[in-house]
Amino acid sequence: MTLSSIIFSLKITLVFLLHILLILVSNAKPQNIVTKTTLNHKISAVLVFGDSTSDPGNNNYILTPFKGNFPPYGKDFANQKPTGRFTNGLLASDIIARYLGIKDNVPPYLDPSLTIHDLMTGVSFASAGSGYDPLTPTISNVIPLPRQLEYFREYKVKLTAKLGVLRAKEIINDAIYLVSAGTNDFVVNYFTLPIRRQEYSLPSYMDFLMNKELDFLQGLWNEGARKIGVAGLPPMGCLPIVITLFSENAVSDRGCIDYFSSVARTYNSMLQTGLNIMQFNNAHQGGRITYFDTYSPLFDVVAGHKYGFKEVKLGCCGTGLLETTFLCNPKSNICPDASKYAFWDSIHPTQEVYKIIFESVQPVIDYMIKD
């Protein structure tokens, strides 16, 4: 074989190998990266309401002990920055914003450094410790849901002043709205403090809370929201803090307490019925009001051991039994790899679990945003 033929053969082989490599790269799925949706949609912004499951740092700007703007919170966030998110990294609302191609992270509305572009593409009004029951946010002096709705009205005024009536209305109508609250009403308020238990039986408290939630959602609708995703309650009996506070032997027996999870299942069923009625009553105006099932994926993680997490009954921070907010602080020991833990602290999921929750509700999001 001549030298020229050898070189030609090597070139052919190299081209072939490069071709195979390109195929492998194009087919490979990126790890730990949310792929942007390819669906046709015109979502303008992501607007978020609720509690610590969707607060990216609003509590940093109010006088409350319920903050997460210090280490080890944010350990796996960009530049290991503690932003006020009650987890090690991203929240589900951040992941949804990335999936929609809107922005990398949803900032807190109360951040004074927000630009007009930040406002145009969406913010979170959520406040850790809040709930639908007016009593719940007073316990920790955080932002009630009605006040979050007032902030939204203020937000609309700011948009209109900067962009004009037509452009502001377009952004409001084309935004996706995410609402996540209710756990604090039961865990922090009803089951822990005596006030509401003296006033309401559990079924009547559920009715009371449902009316408050639906009133809030109708208020959001009246302000122009037309694509609303509402998260149900998680399996509350599987939260580490609930197991610690209400188990007979919380150290040796770390199993989920079904009584508390059954309350969540009942309430979620009521919520789905309420949302269906609300959708029917407002159908003539267009829009979609949808239920996000957060119960099933978290239950699969904790009780079903479906995703192979190393630890599902303790938080990564401290002992994992009770630590949250200021009890999870720079002096706390933390687990070496939060991605192997279902919970970051005794209440809040890790970023890995938020990704699983996102993947579970992704088909619903795709339905919501279809033109």
HSE value, Cβ hemisphere, 13 Å, CA-based, for 281 = 11
Mean pLDDT of the chain: 90
Whether residue 345 is contained in a domain is answered as no
Q: What is the distance between the alpha carbons of residues 307 and 304, in angstroms, rounded to a whole number? A: 8
pLDDT of residue 36: 64
Compute CA distances 165 → 1, 7, 72, 276, whole Å.
77, 68, 43, 31
Whether residue 23 is contained in a domain is answered as no
Whether residue 242 is contained in a domain is answered as no
Q: Domain holding 125: CATH number? A: 3.40.50.1110
Q: Residue 261 above 90 pLDDT?
A: yes
Residue numbers annotated as active site:
52, 345, 348
Whether residue 253 is contained in a domain is answered as no
Tokens representing residue 126 in the block: 């959520």
- The pTM for the full model equals 0.89
The total number of structural domains in the chain stands at 1
Q: Residue 3 above 50 pLDDT?
A: no
Whether residue 337 is contained in a domain is answered as no
Give me the residues paired with residue 292 across strands.
231
Whether residue 277 is contained in a domain is answered as yes
Higher pLDDT, 39 or 361: 361
Q: What is the pLDDT of residues 181-239, one digit of tens each?
A: 999 999 999 999 999 999 999 999 999 999 999 999 999 999 999 999 999 999 999 99
Q: What is the pLDDT of residues 305-345, one digit of tens each?
A: 999 999 999 999 999 999 999 999 999 999 999 999 999 99
Domain range for residue 116? 37-235+258-294+350-369
pLDDT of residue 282: 87
Q: Residue 2 above 50 pLDDT?
A: no
In the 3-class helix/strand/coil scheme, how is the chain assigned residue by residue?
CCHHHHHHHHHHHHHHHHHHHHHHHHHCCCCCCCCCCCCCCCCCCEEEEECCCCCCCHHHHCCCCCCCCCCCCCCCCHHHCCCCCCCCCCCHHHHHHHHCCCCCCCCECCCCCCCHHHHHHCCECCCCCCCCCCHHHHHHCCCCHHHHHHHHHHHHHHHHHHHCHHHHHHHHHHCEEEEECCHHHHHHHHCCCCHHHHHCCHHHHHHHHHHHHHHHHHHHHHCCCCEEEEECCCCHHHCHHHHHHHCCCCCCCCCCCHHHHHHHHHHHHHHHHHHHHHHHHCHHHCCEEEEECCHHHHHHHHCCCCCCCCEEEEECECCCCCCCHHHCCCCCCECCCHHHEEECCCCCECHHHHHHHHHHHHHHHHHHHCC
Q: Residue 38 above 90 pLDDT?
A: no
Whether residue 325 is contained in a domain is answered as no
Q: Residue 371 above 80 pLDDT?
A: no
Whether residue 195 is contained in a domain is answered as yes
